Structure 1
Amino acid sequence: MKRCLQLLILLVLLVSFNPYHASANVDTTMQDEAVYMIMVDRFNNGDTSNDKDANLDDPYAYHGGDFKGIMDKLDYIKEMGFTAIWLTPIFENTPKGYHGYWTKDYYKTNEYFGTMEEFKALVQEAHERDLKIILDFVVNHVGPNHEWLNDPSKEEWFHPNQPISNWNDQAEVENGWLYDLPDLNQSNPEVAAYLIEAAKWWIKETDIDGYRLDTVKHVPKEYWFDFSSAIKAEKENFYLIGEVWHDNPNVIAEYEETGIDGFFDFSQNDSLRTAFEKSNQSLGWLFSNVERNEKLFNRSNFLGQFIDNHDMTRFSNLVLNQKEEPKSQLKKSLTYLYTAPGIPIIYYGTEIAMDGGNDPDNRRMMQFDSENNLVDYISKLGSLRTEHLSLTRGKMEVLHEDEGIAIYSRVYEEETIVVAINNTSEQQRVVLEGKLENGKRLMSLLSDSVIKSNGNQYTINIESGQSEIYELTEKADTNWLFIVLSSAVLGSFILILTLGIREVKKRSVF
């Protein structure tokens, strides 16, 4: 009986073993992450005692979000399949700095958000759920009317108070006061050392996992090299992702030499918003951008891909202005984000198709009781991205693209995933001939549909506005290994059951 039971367990493990997915146990890198972005003040109010003068009716005032509120929603974030959380700056800010980008003290938490002990607890709770914490870090400027401006010993800490008038002059871009914010002089050794030591201190004190670096192009490349080297030496596998807000990807690529791991892909963001804000738009630029990125960047898979963020009109708002349905258009754009090369970065509220115009309307308080949500869909996409390494490391190939209908594959080792997105207002039928391996089938990972090959052809029918994700697998009638092992498991079960019945009968006799 004992030996039979051991054999049964072994056979069950063999049957459940999938060689295509076994490599999912490899060490993860930045390209394997899926990031949920939170504006701390606008996410969830978990502790009303720190609200002070918060006012939900004033879009420029604090609204009450805090560390406790985020901690209360960690399971919510984890269950959607996210592996990392990017938090807007949490440091003490000058008055009205609800967004966090007006730093007052680099060594204190914002009292509206909670204490240092509460933030440490948040990091610990996140780590227990295998969630990384990425902090927004600003080295370009401090908050308006900062006390350092009145300190004679820090007179050389700032560039002269001049606005940026010529955005093509890099010296102006780096030295001018962005939005009239006091511009720090990183060429001053004291400033350079202060900022690096502060960044290292937060790593040592709280064990965070990465920094999102704000306004990178406004700081000299030489400084970023020193900053990156020092930070990377502080903690192994610490992530640095930089915001170089520029439409020209060549400009962004120049910053790879600084040691920053990845960057936000603003060029692709523009293409994504244009392609999916309404139906019947070509998706061709999305694939052209991927090809360009592979040639231009050494780490193109480390590029952050996003449909919107805290500095731009929400995607749902663009869709509504086109008289389209946000949930449908979001589903298609999210399908692309999760299955194309790069790191998907999802702005809080996207999962409920949150509306919002220009800043600060795009920073509304999160509503968790919304019925118009895509939580289940995002959760499914997150699971697929975790289970299939081809979606994070695979080579992309466009199999078909024609005015809004696109089919592409991601291939890694022995695994092939095929993605179909129909951004047209009609059902589409596409015959793929000679594009995929003969004699197999496409099994949907989102529904129960199966597409069998007809020679070297695969016919994909997809409804208007729908997306599908398939895995290329062996035909069921040729999977002899599965049949043999399944039969063995069934036979062993019957044998164990029979022996068990006999044993019971023997005991009942005596």
Structure 2
Amino acid sequence: MLLRSSLLAAGLYAAAPALAASADDWRSRAIYQLITDRFAMSNDSNTPCDTTERRYCGGSWQGVINHLDYIQSMGFDAVWISPVSANIEGNTTAGEAFHGYWYQDITALNTHFGSPDDLKQLSQALHKRGMYLMLDVVVNHMAAPKMPPEFNFQDFFHPFTDESYFHQPPCFANDSTTDPNVLEQCWLGDPNLPLPDLNTESQTVVDLLQKSIHDIVQTYQVDGLRVDTVKHIRKDFWPGWASAAGVFTMGEVIANDTSFAAPYTEVLDAILDYPSYFPMVSAFSSPQGQFGPFISQITASQKAYKNGLFLAGSFFENHDQPRFQSYTKDVALVRNGMTFPFIHDGIPICYYGQEQGYQGGSDPFNREALWLSAYQQEKPLVGHFKTLNAARKAAIKSSNGQFLHTPMKFYAIEQNSFAVSKPPMLALLTNIGSETSKSIVWNVPQAGFQPNEELINIFTCGQVMADGQGGVNVRSEYGMPQMLMPISAVQGSNLCPADPKRRVANMAGNREKMLSGAVLFGSVLFFFFRFWQF
């Protein structure tokens, strides 16, 4: 009865004028994720920001507006911002709520980031550029400074004004919990900073949550939602809530098990592809990484998720996980791993600072201030993202959109390399790294190109000829990834332009890294022969 009445209520909200793009419209998008407090300040000052203090550093929605050129120039056409609702104030045992996930009032905005007009202006600025706005939202819980009875529920939260709106303590859950009763009924956090769990079995709570999300989407013309801690609420809650929102929904389900995550794709449009993320990071972080488990996980998700991996969020870094360069600084490993989300079936996501080579480990070190980078456009990974986004757009255009509906397939799987095909793209990836004399050869007879078709490696602009059956045989260069596309597919794009000056600029970042690898290898050989005693 609860689910039925919830869906009926959501139907009333869904009847409101739609301002947002459909789930299908999101297929072609590439998302840039940012933490508002750490992306840009309104006045562009270079204020220090010590991540270890876990305090507000001054980023704002106006700051984001000021740097939309930076985001769009890399090819991203959607921006995911951290939660916007009012959070608990003051310092806690885990610092201040600069990240936005500790709600106190879901009917008001977090004034640290700006005014309602500022958020509306951000939405409008994105839409004028043809870009989408994705809000991060918390539905499962609020945040309290202490445990009851030291903490009094009365009128502290809004609109949940007393303890009857919450599941009652004392049990706690965490990301490793699998028991549904514990996951859905217990609190997150800990006794020092508890996150009171909303009683989503209560129709009153359901109605308030649905009205809140409907209002915020309509007021700020939101195009999509990233939904926090989805697995901590019963599954049959989500369809009614999503219907009330009326926009694309991508849920966070932290799990390394496809069978656990898959049911949530039945109740929301998509989920973040966490089951693939964990083995992906392990596979690319060193030459000892294993591609077999990673590829098996991908193919399992393609079969298990409601829409396959289409619409799933594919990411290599985010605010909850250590940055990849905290595991390895090897430029070839970094570039190989960064490339995969752009040939993934889903929606590629870049976490702010990834493009600047940030190296922070676990929270709070992975939540650095981006203004300290000066938003440098010349950084090699900025160029890498530009190339990846341009290639994906060219693949979509040249295939008349079929790229977005064609599942990726894996070929030539070896200990340290594999190929992944998603026509008209063929990615050749490896984890041998740049600091090795080892060479990789990708022999892909099933590459799917036309016989004797002229191809181009979008990273170096080097040309390759497919064989008489449309296959390829390609050798690695310093462990770098390769992405082959028909020359006909990139014509008219910014990839490998015919103008020699533009081509040199396009290749500069990759050539720089390849040369640095060569210099390093040469130096090793020099010292070996100079000092080794025969």
What TM-score do the two structures reach when normalised by structure 1? 0.79
CA contact (8 A) 1:86 1:133 kept: yes
Q: Relative to structure 1, is the Cα distance of residues 462 and 373 closer, same or farther in structure 2, using a 3 angstrom cutoff?
A: closer
Q: What's the CA shift string for 1:92-113, capped at 9, x where partnerless? A: 1102211101112212221110
Q: What's the CA shift string for 1:46-65, capped at 9, x where partnerless? A: 1489x9xx964753110111
Structure 1: gaps of 5 or more residues: 1-26, 233-237, 476-510
Q: 2:72 aligns with which of 30, 54, 78?
A: 78
Q: What's the CA shift string for 1:266-310, capped at 9, x where partnerless? A: 111101110111235343333322221121012121111111211
Question: Does 1:442 pair with 2:449?
Answer: no
Find the counterpart in structure 1 of residue 386 from structure 2. 379
Q: 1:464 aligns with which of 449, 463, 478?
A: 478
> Paired residues, what number?
432
Distance in 1, matches of 2:321 and 2:108, equals 28
Letter in 1 for 2:118: E
1:261: how far off?
Answer: 0.5
Q: Relative to structure 1, is the Cα distance of residues 59 and 473 closer, same or farther in structure 2, using a 3 angstrom cutoff?
A: same
Distance in 2, matches of 1:45 and 1:192, equals 36
The alignment partner of 2:70 has SS state of: helix
Q: Relative to structure 1, is the Cα distance of residues 357 and 454 closer, same or farther in structure 2, using a 3 angstrom cutoff?
A: closer
Question: Does 1:279 pair with 2:287?
Answer: yes
The alignment partner of 1:333 has SS state of: helix
Q: What's the CA shift string for 1:302-335, capped at 9, x where partnerless? A: 111111211111111011xxxx42x432211111
1:422: how far off?
Answer: 3.0
Q: 1:452 aligns with which of 465, 470, 480?
A: 465
Q: 2:180 aligns with which of 170, 175, 191?
A: 170
The alignment partner of 1:217 has SS state of: helix
Find the counterpart in structure 1 of residue 505 from structure 2. none
Find the counterpart in structure 1 of residue 321 from structure 2. 312
1:31: how far off?
Answer: 2.3
CA contact (8 A) 1:249 1:265 kept: no
1:79-98 map, 5 Å: 79-95=73-89, 96-98=96-98
1:172-251 map, 5 Å: 172-179=182-189, 180-232=194-246, 238-251=247-260
Q: Relative to structure 1, is the Cα distance of residues 459 and 172 closer, same or farther in structure 2, using a 3 angstrom cutoff?
A: closer
Distance in 1, matches of 2:44 and 2:445, equals 61
Letter in 1 for 2:413: E
The alignment partner of 2:27 has SS state of: helix
Distance in 1, matches of 2:173 and 2:106, equals 29
CA contact (8 A) 1:352 1:375 kept: yes
Q: 1:149 aligns with which of 150, 153, 166?
A: 153
Distance in 1, matches of 2:173 and 2:113, equals 36
1:419: how far off?
Answer: 1.4
CA contact (8 A) 1:34 1:84 kept: yes
1:103-502 map, 5 Å: 103-145=103-145, 149-151=153-155, 154-164=162-172, 167-179=177-189, 180-232=194-246, 238-258=247-267, 260-279=268-287, 281-299=289-307, 300-319=309-328, 324-325=329-330, 327-366=331-370, 367-369=372-374, 372-389=379-396, 391-411=403-423, 416-424=424-432, 425=436, 426-433=438-445, 435-436=447-448, 437-456=450-469, 458-472=472-486
CA contact (8 A) 1:444 1:471 kept: yes
Task: Percent identity, please.
Answer: 27
Letter in 2 for 1:41: D
Letter in 2 for 1:246: A
1:66: how far off?
Answer: 0.6
Report which stretch shifted further, 172-181 or 394-403: 394-403
CA contact (8 A) 2:315 2:348 kept: yes
The alignment partner of 1:408 has SS state of: strand
Q: Relative to structure 1, is the Cα distance of residues 421 and 386 closer, same or farther in structure 2, using a 3 angstrom cutoff?
A: same
The alignment partner of 1:345 has SS state of: strand
Distance in 1, matches of 2:85 and 2:43, equals 18
CA contact (8 A) 2:291 2:415 kept: yes
CA contact (8 A) 1:134 1:211 kept: yes
Whichever of the two has the greater Rg, that structure is: 1
Letter in 2 for 1:62: Y
CA contact (8 A) 1:45 1:64 kept: yes
CA contact (8 A) 1:409 1:417 kept: yes
CA contact (8 A) 2:421 2:447 kept: no
Report which stretch shifted further, 418-427 or 58-67: 418-427
Question: Does 1:33 pair with 2:29?
Answer: yes
Q: What's the CA shift string for 1:149-184, capped at 9, x where partnerless? A: 124962310111223269232112111110021111
Distance in 2, matches of 1:356 and 1:449, equals 34
Distance in 2, matches of 1:120 and 1:342, equals 28
- Pairwise CA RMSD: 2.6
What TM-score do the two structures reach when normalised by structure 2? 0.76
1:432: how far off?
Answer: 3.2
Report which stretch shifted further, 385-394 or 145-154: 145-154
Distance in 1, matches of 2:49 and 2:429, equals 42
